[in-house]
Structure 1
Amino acid sequence: MSGASLDEVLKTAWARARAVWGRAFRQLKLFLATAEHTWRRSLQVRVVTLTLVVSSLLVAVFAYVVAYRSSTILLNRAKDSVSAQLDYGRSYTELQLKIFGKPFEPNVQGTLQDIVFYLGGGDSQDPSAGLVVVRADNVNELSAVPSRKGDITGLLTTDITGVVSHGQKATAIRSADLDRTGMVKYLVEGTPVKTNFGQIELYYIEPLTTQDSAATQIRTTVLATGATLVLLLGLLSALVTRLVVRPVRVAARTAQRLSAGLLDQRMAVTGEDDLALLAASFNQMAANLQRQIVRLEDMSRLQRRFTSDVSHELRTPLTTVRMAADLIFAERERFPADVTRTAEILQTELDRFESLLTDLLEISRYDAGFAMLDAEPTDLVPIVHRAVEPLRGLAERCGVPLEVDVPADPVIVEADPRRVERILRNLVGNAVEHAEGKPVVIRLVSDGVAAAVAVRDHGLGLKPGEEKLVFNRFWRADPSRARQTGGTGLGLSISLEDARLHGGWLEAWGAPGQGAQFRLTLPVRAGDRLSGSPLRLVPEDIELAAVTPPVQPRAITQTPAELPL
Structure 2
Amino acid sequence: MNWNRIVVKLGGSILLIVLIILLPLGFVTQQIFSGFYYSKVQDQLMDLSKRYAESISSVDNTQILQMFETLATMTDKEIVIVDSKGKVLANSGLPSFENGRKVTMKPLLLKEEENVPRYEYEDPLLDESFLYIGRPIFDEEDQFIGSIYVFSSIGPITQSLEVIKNLLILAGVGSILLASGLIYFVSKRLSRPLLDMVSVTRGMAKGELHSRVGITTGDEIGALGRSINDLAIELESYRTNRKEFFASVSHELRTPLAYVDGYARVLKEGIYETEEEKERYLSIIEQEAARMTKLVNDLFELSKMEEGHFHLLLEEVDLIEVVESTLEKTQLKAKEKGLRVSFDSVISIPTIYADGLRIEQVLINLVENAIRYTEEGSIVIRLLSEDSYVAIEIEDTGIGIPESEIPFLFDRFYRVEKSRSRKYGGTGLGLSIVKHLVSLQNGSIDVQSKVGKGTKVTLRFPIYMEESS
TM-score, normalised to structure 1, is 0.42
TM-score, normalised to structure 2, is 0.49
